[in-house]
Amino acid sequence: MGSGKFITLEGGEGLGKSTNLHFIKDFLENNGLSVRVTREPGGTPLAEQIRCLLLEERSESVAEQTELLLMFSARAQHLKEVIYPALAQGQWVISDRFTDATYAYQGGGRAIDVSLIQQLETWVQGTFRPDLTLLLDAPINIGMSRMKERVISDRFEQEQFPFFERVRQAYLLQAQKNPDRIQVVNANQSLTAVQSDIVSHLLSLLKK
Ligand code: Z5A
């Protein structure tokens, strides 16, 4: 890989990933870096089609295995077409969600055996992992109340409180297991305070 770094943003819905993605992009560009912003599931034309399959509401119930495999199918395409080439060219890549979301939603939310996720992670990514993951964390009701205004609701947003609590706990477990990579940011504070925490993590990464 070139000198680019890979940053991922994670967290439950409505906790400010999209909002802060743009803030991070601007911050890095102001520091003279070339930045590529992307998201999962998605990021390439094919992976975006898989995203639609995954998120749209449907009458047919989706098997957990189907959901998990589609997440990794989209990820394989995203890595090959976008993430690896951008890093090789020295760009910094920021992704709105990546594999920690699979541990959280499919592992925590759907209760899929984590060892299966680990096997797919190794198969699809080898040893490749983000350089920094910012996990926006807050009690579930905070994200939900911020999302109240939004009308469109996807297949995941239909889930109930216990599902999102399992997602949150699985994210926090990932952070515990990967303390050097995953930085937990308290999302239950003002946007200015959130962004000040984010900047301190970015500055540490810039010094590495
Ligand atoms: N998924 C999965 O299951 N497995 C996987 O492996 C992957 C994904 C990769 C799509 O995610 C779904 O895919 C996701 C998990 C699943 N489903 N869910 N739920 P997505 O990222 O596209 O969708 P999302 O999680 O629902 O994100 P979102 O709706 O775009 O929310 P957000 O980006 O975190 O929040 P936001 O839009 O930036 O902020 C929400 C509002 O809060 C907005 O009005 C902001 O102005 C406001 N905000 C933000 N920060 C603050 C603070 N600090 N104070 C006050 N107000 C704030």
Residue ranges per structural domain of the chain: 6-206
Pocket lined around ligand 1, Cβ cut-off 6 Å: 11, 13-19, 40-41, 71, 96-97, 101-102, 105-106, 146, 156-157, 187, 190-191, 194
Interval between CA 15 and ligand 1 midpoint (Å): 6
Q: pLDDT in tens for each of the 208 residues of the chain?
A: 558 999 999 999 899 999 999 999 999 999 999 999 999 999 999 999 999 999 998 899 999 999 999 999 999 999 999 999 999 999 999 999 999 999 999 999 999 999 999 999 999 999 999 999 999 999 999 988 887 767 667 888 888 889 999 999 999 999 999 999 999 999 999 999 999 999 999 999 999 8
Q: What is the pLDDT of residue 158?
A: 82
Interval between CA 2 and ligand 1 midpoint (Å): 30
Long-range CB pairs of 17-22 (<8 Å, 24+ gap) are: 17/96, 17/97, 17/136, 18/96, 19/191, 20/134, 20/136, 20/194, 20/195, 20/198, 21/94, 21/96
Q: What is the pLDDT of residue 151?
A: 62
Give Cα separations from 192 to 19, 20, 97 (angstroms). Answer: 12, 10, 22
19-29 exposure pattern, b = at least 16 Cβ within 10 A, e = fewer: ebbebbbebbe
Most ligand 1 atoms within 8 A of CB, residue of 9, 10, 13 to mutate: 13
Give the residue, by CA position, lying nearest to ligand 1 atom 12. Answer: 156
Give Cα separations from 22 to 25, 37, 79, 86, 122 (angstroms). Answer: 5, 8, 21, 18, 30
Interval between CA 181 and ligand 1 midpoint (Å): 21
Interval between CA 13 and ligand 1 midpoint (Å): 4
Quote the longest CA-to-CA distance of the chain. 50
Query: How many other CB atoms are there within 10 angstroms of residue 4's CB atom?
Result: 20
Give the residue, by CA position, lying nearest to ligand 1 atom 1. Answer: 101
Q: What is the pLDDT of residue 152?
A: 61
CATH superfamily of the domain spanning 6-206: P-loop containing nucleotide triphosphate hydrolases (3.40.50.300)
Q: What is the pLDDT of residue 160?
A: 86
Q: Is residue 99 within 8 Å of 178, Cβ to Cβ?
A: no
**Phi, psi of 104, deg, nearest 5:** -75, -50
